[in-house]
């Protein structure tokens, strides 16, 4: 029986015992913080990770779901970043099967594109060489009709096929955190850092932490650690300024339009150049939906959570769809949902935001390490770079193993394989690791059915409600299970059925359920709903 974390009363148990001296205190529960936690726990450190919201509630649940080498970064000359990324991609594909999967891409070239077709072919050859394999090839008109029949052939002068990978970003974060907790780490969501603690030498030695969960009553404690790591991504400046540093990040919003797959059918992803400015844009089939993104615009609002795509961004993305897939006749009214996230990059003054460098940044300020920017794909390398920077600050000089598999291996019994199809089993193992065995064993046959035709099952919904640290309903429906973007209306029409499955597991009375349902509906309508249909393109 696998050790079950985050069961009833888990938050108060952590708060009751949080005053110990920690080796490593990580602020930020996205992919960067989760990766650092995983490697720190492996090295035998006492690790505490905290996040002001839910785990992966920021950038790491609003990405384009890609684990990729960054082919587009070759255009900006970021060769070292691409080399590191393609190698990390290959390792993730090997170590994280079922959660990180190969994804074929088609890249189309049209008359008048800003990058000549031969240069695209040369770039893809170089891209494969950096990865140590040869998978790309050019597509004839006949081949393109087979692989991607819906893409426009008008003024087409060339097409190529290459391979990257995709993932469920939130589930990757959660699996890293849960495996870390299983091996002795501690993770706490909805816990806001209100200030840094400074010792007599002027060095950061801890944080003042406040509980933001409804049942926490706003309790606060001072927590000390050998090392504090600021892994808050686009929010990193907020902590750095407390050490006297000036803001250094440019905050960029990336938004996506989501279509039901029956209206936007694709066998593979498509990489295209936007007709207005030549920016690379991706169209990606994912978990029963097809989405297009991402934009790359300056985000000037102080609100970095629960963003909303702007009408300008929606029109921009729809223009790319109409240009490359005109026969589908898609309009804004066909959009099922949207999602938008924020990322922080080093501000260098580039006029075009998408040309800013995307490599990760490391700063040491009064003993506090800040790690920010970078890519989801390189989270493991970012973790090791961060930990090696502060290795000397620990008395026993821990070593950080770069050889072990990124995720724990899973052993499957014949009894389990007899209950579920191979592809479905691999998907569950990828998302839940060894806990997938218990999830399947405790599920009825009916619970292994899909939810409204999505890849998610009722068994996953019940399991997550019981075992995965749910504080609010949106934790469950937007991050643990991705129904908020997979289903029309964010699944609001089936909330009664969801209630029957999870209310008891969550331990919520009727009043609490109604409050959370109202909160989820408002959040979805304000931040994830489709843009207004009928607006003319600008």
455 and 495: one domain? yes
Domain presence at residue 509 = yes
CA distance 375 to 361: 11
Q: For residue range 198-243, what is the model confidence (pLDDT) as tens digits?
A: 999 999 999 999 999 998 888 999 999 999 999 999 999 999 999 9
Q: Is residue 4 part of a domain?
A: no
- Count of alpha carbons within 13 Å of 338, Cβ hemisphere only? 32
Q: Do residues 72 and 129 share a domain?
A: yes
**CATH number assigned to the domain comprising residue 73:** 3.30.9.10
DSSP conformational letter for 437: H
Please tell me the predicted confidence (pLDDT) of residue 352: 74
Residues 262, 300 within the same domain: yes
241 plus 254 within the same structural domain: no
Q: Does 294 sit behind a cis peptide bond, omega within 30 degrees of 0 on the bond before it? A: yes
- Record the tokens describing residue 342, joined without a space: 């924020």
Q: Give a yes or no: residue 217 inside a domain.
A: yes
Q: CA separation (Å) from 330 to 261, 262, 265?
A: 12, 12, 12
Question: What is the CATH classification number for the domain harbouring 31?
Answer: 3.50.50.60
Question: Chain-wide mean pLDDT for the chain?
Answer: 93
Beta strand 22-27 with 100-110 is: unpaired
83 and 117, same domain (yes or no): yes
Task: Assess whether 181 and 327 both reside in one domain.
Answer: no
3-state secondary structure of 381: helix
279-311 pLDDT, tens digit per residue, is 899 999 999 999 999 999 999 877 777 799 999
- On whether both 190 and 145 belong to a single domain, the answer is no
The answer to whether residue 1 is domain-embedded is: no
Spatial separation of the C-alpha atoms in residues 492 and 237, rounded to whole Å:
36
Is 239:52 a contact under the CB 8 Å cutoff?
Answer: no
Q: Would you state the pLDDT for residue 528? A: 97
Verify that 272 and 215 share a domain, yes or no.
Answer: no
pLDDT in tens, 369-396: 999 999 999 999 999 999 999 998 888 8
Q: Is residue 425 part of a domain?
A: no
Question: The whole model's pTM is what?
Answer: 0.96
Q: Do residues 177 and 265 both lie within one domain?
A: no
Domain-ending residue, one of 322, 345, 368: 345
| 20 CB burial (10 A radius; 0-12, 13-18, 19+) | exposed
Q: What is the pLDDT of residue 216?
A: 82
On whether both 131 and 273 belong to a single domain, the answer is yes
Q: For residue 341, what are the CA distances in angstroms to 16, 61, 64? A: 34, 8, 9
9 pLDDT tier (thresholds 50, 70, 90) = confident
pLDDT at 418: 86
Q: Are residues 22 and 96 in the same domain?
A: no
In a domain, 157, yes or no: yes
**Structural domain for 26, as ranges:** 10-59+170-248+357-393
pLDDT, mean of residues 257-272: 96
Distance between CA 122 and CA 162 in Å, rounded? 12
Question: What is the C-alpha to C-alpha distance for residues 385 and 514, in angstroms, rounded to an integer?
Answer: 45
pLDDT > 70: percent of the chain: 98
Q: Does residue 22 sit within a domain?
A: yes
Structural domain ending residue among the three candidates 393, 421, 450? 393
Counted domains in the chain: 3
Q: Domain for residue 420, yes or no?
A: no
Closest CA to 474 of 462, 486, 483, 487: 483
pLDDT digits (tens, 9 = 90+) for 44-70: 999 999 999 999 999 999 999 999 998
Q: Are strands 100-110 and 269-273 parallel, antiparallel or unpaired?
A: parallel
Residues 81 and 136 in one domain: yes
Ranges of beta strands (E only) in 366-406 are 368-373
- State the average pLDDT over residues 307-324: 96
């Amino acid at each position: 029986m696998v050790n079950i974390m985050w069961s009833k009363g888990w938050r108060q148990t952590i708060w009751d015992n949080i005053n110990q001296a920690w080796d490593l205190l990580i602020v930020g529960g996205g992919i960067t913080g989760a990766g650092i936690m995983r490697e720190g726990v492996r090295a035998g450190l006492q690790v505490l990770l905290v996040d002001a919201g839910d785990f992966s509630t920021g950038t790491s649940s609003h990405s384009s779901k890609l684990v990729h080498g960054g082919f587009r970064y070759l255009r900006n000359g970021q060769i070292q970043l691409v080399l590191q990324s393609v190698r990390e991609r290959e390792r993730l594909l090997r170590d994280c099967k079922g959660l990180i999967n190969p994804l074929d891409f088609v890249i189309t070239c049209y008359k008048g594109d800003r990058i000549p077709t031969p240069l695209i072919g040369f770039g893809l050859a170089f891209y494969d060489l950096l990865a140590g394999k040869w998978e790309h090839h050019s597509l004839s008109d006949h081949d393109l009709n087979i692989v991607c029949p819906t893409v426009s052939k008008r003024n087409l002068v060339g097409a190529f096929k290459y391979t990257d990978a995709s993932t469920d970003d939130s589930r990757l974060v959660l699996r890293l955190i849960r495996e870390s907790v299983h091996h002795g780490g501690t993770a706490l969501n909805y816990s806001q850092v209100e200030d840094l603690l400074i010792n007599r030498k002027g060095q950061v030695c801890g944080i003042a932490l406040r509980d933001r969960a409804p049942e926490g009553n706003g309790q606060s404690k001072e927590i000390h650690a050998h090392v504090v790591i600021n892994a808050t991504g686009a929010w990193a400046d907020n902590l750095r300024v407390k050490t006297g540093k000036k803001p250094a990040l440019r905050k960029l919003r990336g938004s996506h339009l989501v279509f039901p797959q029956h209206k936007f059918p694709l066998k593979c992803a498509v990489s295209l150049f936007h007709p207005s400015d030549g920016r690379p844009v991706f169209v990606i089939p994912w978990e029963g939906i097809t989405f297009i993104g991402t934009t790359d615009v300056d985000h000037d609002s102080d609100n970095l959570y629960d963003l909303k795509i702007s009408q300008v961004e929606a029109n921009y993305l729809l223009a790319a769809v109409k240009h490359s897939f005109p026969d589908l006749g898609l309009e804004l009214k066909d959009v099922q949902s949207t999602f938008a996230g924020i990322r922080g990059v080093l501000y260098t003054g580039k006029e075009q935001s998408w040309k800013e460098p995307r490599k990760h940044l490391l700063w040491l300020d009064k003993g506090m390490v800040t790690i920010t920017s970078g890519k989801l794909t390189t989270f493991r390398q970012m973790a090791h770079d961060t930990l090696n920077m502060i290795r000397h600050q620990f008395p026993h000089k821990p070593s950080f193993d770069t050889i072990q598999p990124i995720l724990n291996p899973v052993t499957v019994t014949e009894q389990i394989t007899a209950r579920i199809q191979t592809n479905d089993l691999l998907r569950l193992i990828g998302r839940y690791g060894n806990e997938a065995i218990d999830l399947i064993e405790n599920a009825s046959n009916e619970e292994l059915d899909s939810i409204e035709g999505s890849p998610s099952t009722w068994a996953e919904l019940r399991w997550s409600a019981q075992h995965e640290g749910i504080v609010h309903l949106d934790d469950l429906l937007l991050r643990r299970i991705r129904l908020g973007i997979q289903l029309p209306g964010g699944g609001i029409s089936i909330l009664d059925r969801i209630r029957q499955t999870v209310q008891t597991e969550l331990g919520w009375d009727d009043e609490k359920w109604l409050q959370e349902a109202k909160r989820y509906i408002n959040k979805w309508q304000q931040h994830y709903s489709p843009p207004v249909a009928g607006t003319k393109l600008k």
